[in-house]
Amino acid sequence: MRYKYETKGTCSKLIEFTVEDGILKDVKYTGGCNGNLQGISGLVEGMRVEDVIDKLKGLSCGMKSTSCPDQLARALSVVIEKQKNS
């Protein structure tokens, strides 16, 4: 299933991604540092959602309390919660 997540507190404004059978696919960021976000997207695609959350949750960017990778972890956590409650 395809998801969209509006980020908070980062240069990127939107993350779009697909989750199929618990695997993260086709991650696209809108805004932010293009090269870094392409790198993050490429590294996490094909990974289990839970593993991505474990690796990226809590990362900060400079003085910010969050980061683009942390926002992806938060988005994936929302997806997992929705799946548990449905």
Domain that holds residue 54: 2-84
Res. 33 pLDDT band, cuts 50 70 90:
very high
Reduced to 3 states (helix: H, G, I; strand: E, B; else coil), residue 40 is helix
Confidence (pLDDT) at 86 = 81
Q: Residues 42-68: what's their mean pLDDT? A: 98
Computed on alpha carbons and rounded to an integer, the radius of gyration of the chain in Å comes to: 12
Res. 64 pLDDT band, cuts 50 70 90:
very high
Count structural domains, the chain.
1
> For residues 69 and 9, is the Cβ–Cβ distance under 8 A?
no
Q: Residues 21-46: what's their mean pLDDT? A: 97
pTM, entire model:
0.95
Which CATH number fits the domain that encloses residue 6? 3.90.1010
Q: Residues 76-80: what's their mean pLDDT? A: 97
Confidence (pLDDT) at 40 = 97
